[in-house]
Structure 1
Amino acid sequence: MIQQLYTRTKKAAIGLSAVLLLHSTTQAQNKDSLFVQAVMKEVMNNSQLQPLAQELIDGIGPRLVGTPQMQKAHDWAVAKYKDWGVTARNEKWGEWRGWERGISHIDMVHPRVKSLEGMQLAWSPSTNGKTITGETILLPLLADSVAFKQWLPSVKGRFVLLSALQPSGRPDYNLEQWGLKETVDKIRNERRTAAADWAKRIGNTGLNTRTLALALESAGAAGIVQSNWSQGFGVNKIFSASTKKIPTVDIALEDYGLLYRLTESGQKPRISVRADAKELGVVPTFNTIAEIRGTEKPEEYVMLSAHFDSWDGGTGATDNGTGTITMMEAMRILKKLYPNPKRTILVGHWGSEEQGLNGSRAFVEDHPEIVNKLQALFNQDNGTGRVVNLSGQGYLYAHDYLQRWLAPAPDSVKNRIQTSFPGTPGGGGSDHASFVAAGAPAFSLSSLSWSYGNYTWHTNRDTYDKIVWDDVQNNVLLTVILAYMASEDAQTTPREKALLPVNSNGKRGEWPAQRKATRRGGLD
C-alpha cells in the first residue's frame, strides 16, 4: 500500500511538474509573441530609419577615418542616443593621419576641352590651391627594371596613366543579355589580355603598384591618374593614394579610356588638375559605444555591431550606413519596448573597419571583461539587402540557440534566412571576426546582394538613393528579436568549437588567430 501510494504521488508530482513547465513555456511564448507584435508595429508605423539616414548619410556624408566627418558622426550618434535616453560615449582607441577632402577639378584642355569625371583618392596630397597642367604619358612595356630606370626621367612634369585600358565599359550582365556568344567571348578574352599586359608592364619595372607610384613621384611626375573600374556602368572603386607629394586621382572608365587612346595614338592630351585637401596632423580615433543596462545579469552582454567608418568615394550609404542605422534603430526600439533587459545590451559603432577591423580589434583587446561574458554579438555589414544568411561561425552548439532565438520571428523574416551549422569561423571581412578570433559567439547577419560588390562596395556610387528601405526595416525587426531573445535566454551560450573541415591540402582547418589593431594609422 505504501509503495502504491508513493508511486501515485511520484506520478502526480511528475505530472504537476510537466504541467508547470508547459505553463511556464506557454507564458514565455506568449510574452515573446506580444513583444514581437509590438516591435512589428513600431517598425512599420514609427520608423526613424529615413530621418537617421538623411542626417548621417546626406548631412554628415562619408566617414573616412581621420577626417572631421568621422568625428562629426561619432558626436552625432552620442547625441542621438542621449535623446533616446540611451547611455552612450565615444571611446578612444588610437590615432590616425588627419585629412580632409576638398573639391576636385579634373579637365582635359588639349586636344579639346572636356571636364572629366573623377576625384582625388583618400589621403591624396593637395595641389595647394593651384591648378597643375601637364601632358599625359603611358607606362610602356619595358624589358626590365634597367630599362624602367632609363625611361623614368621622361615622366617629369607629366601625368602618368597607371591603369589598363578596358576594351569595353559594359558589365558582364549587359554583354550576356545582348551579345552573341562569340562577341561576349571575344570581349572577355580582350579583357584578360589587357589585364595580363598591364600586369607585365608593372612587373617589368621591378616594383609593385604602390612603390611604382612613389618612384614616379620621386622622378618629378605631375601626378598619378588611374581608373579602378568596378565592373559596372559608371562605377569605380575609390581607395587611398600612395603618393606623398603629388596628387593621385581616379577617373571614370569612360574618360580614362579617352585619355588612354589619345595618349597611345600620339595626340599628346593635356589635363589640368586641382585637388584641394587639408592635412590635419594627428587626430584621435574612436568607437561609439551605447548601452542599455541589464537588470538580472548586468555583467553578461548582448552586443549589436556595425562599422561606422567608410571610404569616401560616395557617402558610405550601404557600406556601412545601412548597417549603422539598423543598429541605431534597433537600440531605439529596444530602449522603448524593452528598457529593462535581463542582460546588458551594447552596440558598437566601430572606427577604421575599412583599414583592417581596427576599431573592433582594439575593443576586443581593451575589454576582455565584456568579450568573456558575451552572450552573442550580431554584426551587419554587407549592404542594404535583407538578411538571407546566418552561419554558426564554427560554434558546435550554435544551431540550438540561434534557431531558438529565430523562432518568434515572423515567417516572412526567418523563412528567407538560409542557415549553416556549425559553419566556419570568419577570419576577416567584417567586425564579427574580431570577436570570433577571441572565441566569443559573434555572428554576421549577411544580406542579399543588390549588386553590392560591383555597384556600392567602396565605390563612387555608394549613395543614399541605393538604400532599399523595406529590406533595412526587415533587418531592424530581425535584430531587435535576436537581441531580445539572446538577453532573455535562461541559458548562457556555450563556446565549444566544432572540428573544422580538412582543406584541399589535407590539413585540418584552424581557428582564426586574434590580431592586434593598428592604433597609429598613416603616421609611421
Structure 2
Amino acid sequence: MKKRAHFLLALLLLTGSVAQAQQPQQTQQAQVKQDPVIQNIIKQATENSQLQKLGHELMDGIGPRLVGTPQMQQAGEWAVNKYKSWGVDARIQNYGEWRGWERGVTHIDMVHPRVKSLEGMQLAWSPATPSKGVTAEVITMPEFTDSVAFQRWLPSVKGKFVMISMNQPSGRPEYNWKEFATEESFEKMKKERDAQNDAYRKKIAATGKTTRTLPVALENAGAAGVVMSNWSSGFGVNKIFSAYTKKIPTVDIALEDYGMLYRLAENGSKPRIKVVAESKHAKKPVPTFNTIAEIKGSEKPDEYVILSAHFDSWDGGTGATDNGTGTILMMEVMRILKEVYPNPKRTILVGHWGSEEQGLNGSRAFVEDNPQIVKNTQAVFNQDNGTGRVANISGQGFLHSYDYMSRWLNAVPRNITKDIQTSFPGTPGGGGSDHASFVAKDVPAFMLSSLNWSYGNYTWHTNRDTYDKIVFDDVQSNVILTAILAYMASEEPELVSRERSVMPTNPRTGEKMSWPQARPATRKGGLD
C-alpha cells in the first residue's frame, strides 16, 4: 500500500512537471494567436480580399508576361501603380535587356484535302509570316539510317511545312485509360506508346541534330515552316515554349489536329495548311527588369524580410498558375501588411522577378546587384508552383531552420498548417525557382510549395494556364500563411542563424553533396 502511495505521488509530481513545461508553450501560443496584427491579417484576407480583382486585371486584362514583350512592361507598370495606390513605395529595377517581341494573331487552317480551322499557335519569338500568310504542303520526316541519309533528304523540305513531333498513339491521358480500359488494352497501349517514343528518339538521333538544332537545319534547307505538337499528357493541353527558327514560322498544333494532319500525310493525301502569324520583332533589345516594392522598417530599416514570386510567364495561356497566383498572393500580402502592420520592425520587400523562366535571371541579378540587402535579409518566402494550398516547406539545409520556422508557423491558424509537411533542416534548393538564388548566397529562403491540382500536366507552361484554373480559396489560405510568416520574421528579435547543415551523401553517386553555387544572371537574352 505504501509502495502504491509513493508511485501515485511520483506520478503526480511527473504530471505536474510536464504540465509546467507545456504551460509556457501553450501560453505563448495563446498570446500569439490573440495578437491583434495576426487577427487583422486574417480579417483583411477573408473579409476584404482583392485576389479576384487582381487576378482579373493581370491575367485577363494584361495577359501573359513573356520576357521582352510589351505585356511584361505593361504588367510592371500596372503593379507599380497598384502598390502606390495602397501607399506602398514601388519601382521598376532594370538589370539587362532581351530580344523584343510581340505576339499577334495566329491562324492555322487546313485547306486540302478539306477545309478546317486548326487549334494551334505560333511559338514565342517565332518569325512572322507575310501578311497574306504561307500556304504549303505538310510533310512528315521518314526514318533515317544515319545523318548522311538525313542530309540527302533535306532538299525535299523546300517550300513545305515539316512536322517534327511524334504522332501520339492516343490523346487520352493515362489516368483515363487506367479508369476505363481493360488491363490488356491498357498494357497494349503503353507498349505501343513506348515503342513509338523509342523509335522517335532514334529518328531524331539519326539526323545528327537535336530538337533545338533540327528546326534550324530545316530552315536553312528552305522549309516553309516547322510544325510541332508538344503534348502535355492531358486532354487538349500542349506545352508552349520558344521557337528556334529566325526566318520561318514555328507553330504548335494541338494533338488532335496534329494527329489528323500526320495521318493524312502518311497516307498520301498531301494535306496543305495556311499559316498566318502576325508577330512583331522589336528593332532593338528591350529592358529586362524586376518590380520591387517595400514597406520601410521602423526599427531595423536596413534588415529585410523578402517576399518572392516571379512575374514573367510563358505565353501559351495567360500565366495564371505560373506564376500569376504567386504574384497576386504577394501583392495581396503587401496590401494587407500595409493596412494592418504599416510600421514593421524590419523592411518588408517584395520582388516580382523577371525572366525566371529563362533561368532565374531576375532573382539572380537582384542578389548580384544588392549585396547589402542580401547580407541583411532575415528570410525569403517564395511561392511559384501553382494555385494550391501550401503543402510542403523545407528548411533548405539551414541547420537551425526548425528553431525559428516552427515558431513562426506556430502563429498561423491550425486549419492552415495542419496539412503542411515540413522537413528540417532539409536540403538546399539548387534551382527550379527563385528561392534558390538566395539559398546559394546563404540566405534562409523557403519555397512555399503547393498542392498539385494537376499542375504538371494541365497548367505548367501550357495553353490552358488561364484565370479559370485559379482556386481562390487556396490562394487566400496562402495569403494568410505568408503574411503571418512575414510578420513573425520581421518581429524576430535578431537575425536568424545561417549556419549550414552537414550535406548528405548523394545516393546515386555515393559522394557528399555540395552547397549550391551562385550563378550569374543572363543580362543579354535572346539576341544570338
* Counterpart-to-counterpart distance in 2, 1:497 and 1:130: 61
TM-score (norm: length of structure 2): 0.94
Q: 1:27 to 1:393 in 2, by over 3 A?
A: closer
- Tell me the residue number matched to 1:410: 413
Q: 1:469-489 deviations in whole A, cap 9, x for unaligned?
A: 100000000000000000001
| Matched residue, 2:53 | 51
The answer on whether the counterparts of 1:125 and 1:244 sit within 8 Å (CA) in structure 2 is yes
User: Which secondary structure does the structure 2 equivalent of 1:274 belong to?
Assistant: strand
Match of 2:512 in 1: 508
Tell me whether 1:322 sits opposite 2:325 in the alignment.
yes
Q: Distance in 2 between matches of 1:22 and 1:316?
A: 46
Pair 1:464 & 2:467 matched: yes
The alpha carbon displacement at 1:22 in A equals 7.0
Give the letter for the 1:517 counterpart: A
Question: Structure 1: any 5+ residue segments left out of the alignment?
Answer: 1-17
Whether 1:430 aligns to 2:449 is no
| C-alpha deviation, 1:170, in angstroms | 0.5
1:301 aligns to what SS in structure 2? strand
Residue 29 of structure 1 deviates from its aligned partner by 2.6
Identify which of 210, 213, 219 aligns with 2:212.
Answer: 210
When structure 1 is superposed on structure 2, of 144-153 and 452-461 the one drifting more is: 144-153
- Select 2:161's aligned residue among 159, 162, 166: 159
Counterparts of 1:66-215 in structure 2, within 5 Å, are 66-215=68-217
Shift of 1:211: 1.1
2:395, 2:401 within 8 Å by CA — same for their partners in 1? yes
User: Cα distance, 1:241 vs. partner?
Assistant: 0.1
Residues 276 and 421 (structure 1), Cα distance of their counterparts in 2 relative to 1, 3 Å cut: same
Aligned 1:243-392 pairs, distance under 5 A? 243-280=245-282, 281-392=284-395
| Structure 1 residues 258 and 28, CA gap change in structure 2 (3 angstroms) | same
Q: More deviation in 496-505 or 32-41?
A: 32-41
Correspondent of 2:228 among 201, 226, 229: 226
Q: How far apart, CA to CA, are the structure 2 residues paired with 1:223 and 1:22? A: 71
CA RMSD of aligned residues (A): 1.5
User: Is the CA contact (8 Å cut-off) linking 2:29 and 2:411 kept in structure 1?
Assistant: no
DSSP 3-state at the match of 1:461: coil
Deviations 1:368-427 (A, max 9, x none): 101111100000000000001000000000011000001111111111110001111001
What corresponds to 1:478 in structure 2? Answer: 481
Residue type of the alignment partner of 1:511: W
Note the residue ranges of structure 2 that are not aligned, 5 or more in a row: 1-19
Shift of 1:491: 2.8
What CA deviation, in whole Å up to 9, does each residue of 1:437-494 have, x standing for no partner? Answer: 1111100000000000000000000000000010000000000000000000113110
17, 38, 41: which is aligned to 1:39?
41
Q: C-alpha separation between the residues in 2 aligned to 1:379 and 1:339?
A: 22
Shift of 1:26: 5.4
Check whether the contact 2:381–2:445 (CA below 8 A) recurs between aligned residues.
Answer: yes
User: Paired residue for 1:519, among 514, 520, 523?
Assistant: 523
1:29 aligns with 2:31: yes
How far did 1:34 drift? 2.3
Give the letter aligned to residue 453 of structure 2: W
Secondary structure of 2:99's aligned partner: strand
C-alpha displacement at 1:300, in angstroms?
Answer: 0.7
Q: Is the 8 A contact 1:33 1:408 kept in 2?
A: no
Residues 29, 410 of structure 2: 8 Å contact kept:
no
Q: Could you give the per-residue CA deviations for residues 164-195 of structure 1, whole angstroms, max 9, x where no partner exists?
A: 01000100111111011111111111111111
- The alignment covers a number of residue pairs equal to 504
